[in-house]
Amino acid sequence: MYNVDKIREDFPILKRKVHGRQLVYLDNAASTQKPIQVIDAWTNYYKEHNSNVHRGVHALSQEASLMHEEAHVKVGKFVGAKNPMEETVFVRNATEAANIVAYGWGMHELKAGDEVLSTVMEHHANIVPWQFLKDRGVKINFVDIDSEGNLNIEDMKEKLTKKTRLVTCVHASNVLGTINDAKEIGKIAHDNGSLFMLDGSQSVPHMQVDVKKLGCDFMIFSGHKMLAPMGTGALYAKKEILQKMHPFLGGGDMIHEVTLEKSTWNDLPWKFEAGTPDVGGSVAFSAAIDYLNKLGMDNVRKHEKEITKYAIDKLSGIGGMNIFGPKNEEKRSGLVAFNVGELHPHDVAGILDSAYSVAIRSGQHCAHPLSARLGQTSTNRASFYVYNTKQEIDILIEGILKVKEILGK
């Protein structure tokens, strides 16, 4: 039985008052809050086990190394990796993971005339690293969306060419909420002889994601959007691809042997983790996975679907609202972007914060091309997670009604 009141007790920050009122945290797509189990795992690591990894024969170093390795296995298994340890590279965030692919694979594998096919609904993390490849003569194409914010698969098929070496897209849009049919897109990519990279930043925290079933060659995601500390994230990639790929950063721990002339690379995944890693972060990432596994990802998805449907129904009942993304909750993740008539999103978010202690996001959500495509300079976004309640949505709605009253629209 999914007990949201009990879940909330695990999150110390949710007890906080902001501007004298109970915090309503609806900015989970940017970063989630952390349960005490994750905070304790992090502090316990520093209290009991802290040491540098892979370098010492002493007990603490051995313990830290084991904990760091076990965290890789835990995260890899969570997303269905066939070789959980070797195929899971720890990074600071999804952005870093995308850059590893662009530099380690793109800069070496792609040549002038080759193409990367992305989409207009991407976060900048899945656009800018590919633009770096333009200097090599690589062409970047973008699949369009339809009027409801669904990816236009026909457009994708038209834009796919024999020169397309990589198809990449977001699994769940951080603005529209749209859940793309990753399995179908992966098949389209593979039938064309292209590799497939999925941006799982807004899906892995919210639903069961299996890289094998979806046919991912690469997948990027952030730990901090799924209860883990800031500065955690992962790149999943197939073992055979990582074996061939060039390392992105060079230095300690990523090498096997170094002479003054040349170096050879360490085993996977360490080949891609140069320098001292964030072991405390890894251990806490592992605790976050334990927490989500205990909740059950199907239950997490069910809870968010309910909250999102409730929010969309209530928002739709307010006059003059502009709500973005698919209407069908089966096709969308746990967030909703909206505009309150012509009111500037920063004004809306500012009043919601100061008068109702409701934290939502306003702006372009690191998706400038999507904003342009939607014809919006910015939008508001409320995004939900395991601890959000319908009562919190009611406070959001009450706040929006007040904003309309104050600003006279």
Ligand X SMILES: Cc1ncc(COP(=O)(O)O)c(C=O)c1O
Going by the DSSP 8-state scheme, the letter that residue 271 receives in this structure is: G
Shortest CB 233 distance to ligand X, Å: 6
Which residues 6+ apart lie within 8 Å of 226 measured at CB?
32, 204, 205, 288, 292
Q: Which is closer to ligand X, CB of 337 or CB of 348?
A: 337
Phi, psi of 24 (to 5 degrees): -115, 105
For residue 216, indicate whether it is catalytic: no
Q: Is residue 388 involved in binding ligand X (CB under 6 A)?
A: no
Q: Which is closer to ligand X, CB of 156 or CB of 351?
A: 156
Shortest CB 402 distance to ligand X, Å: 28
Alpha-helix residue ranges (DSSP H) falling in 246-359: 279-295, 297-316, 345-356
CA distance between the termini of the chain:
42
Whether residue 312 contacts residue 177, with contact meaning beta carbons closer than 8 Å, is answered with no
CA angle 192, 153, 373 (to 5 degrees): 125
Stretch that binds ligand X, among 74-82, 93-101, 182-190, 207-215 (CB under 6 A): 93-101
Binding test (CB under 6 A) with ligand X, winner from 88, 141, 201, 364? 201
| Residue listed under structure tokens 């409320």 | 382
Q: Which is closer to ligand X, CB of 29 or CB of 179?
A: 29
Binding test (CB under 6 A) with ligand X, winner from 93, 99, 364, 383? 93
Q: Which is closer to ligand X, CB of 64 or CB of 374?
A: 374
Shortest CB 107 distance to ligand X, Å: 20
Stretch that binds ligand X, among 91-99, 210-218, 240-248, 351-359 (CB under 6 A): 91-99
207 forms beta bridges with none
Rounded to a whole number of angstroms, the CA Rg of the chain reads 22
Whether residue 121 contacts residue 173, with contact meaning beta carbons closer than 8 Å, is answered with yes
Q: Is residue 202 involved in binding ligand X (CB under 6 A)?
A: yes
Q: Which is closer to ligand X, CB of 222 or CB of 380?
A: 222
Binding test (CB under 6 A) with ligand X, winner from 94, 279, 283, 335? 94
d(CA 198, CA 169): 5
d(CA 179, CA 151): 9
Q: Site mask, ligand X, residues 289-328, x = CB under 6 A?
A: ----------------------------------------
Q: Is residue 199 involved in binding ligand X (CB under 6 A)?
A: yes
Binding test (CB under 6 A) with ligand X, winner from 49, 123, 332, 404? 123
Which residues 6+ apart lie within 8 Å of 46 measured at CB?
280
Binding test (CB under 6 A) with ligand X, winner from 26, 125, 214, 370? 125
- Tally Cβ neighbours within 10 Å of residue 209: 23
d(CA 248, CA 99): 8
Q: Is residue 95 involved in binding ligand X (CB under 6 A)?
A: yes
Rule CB under 6 A: which residues touch ligand X?
29-30, 93-95, 123, 125, 170, 174, 199, 201-202, 222, 233, 366
Active site residues: 366
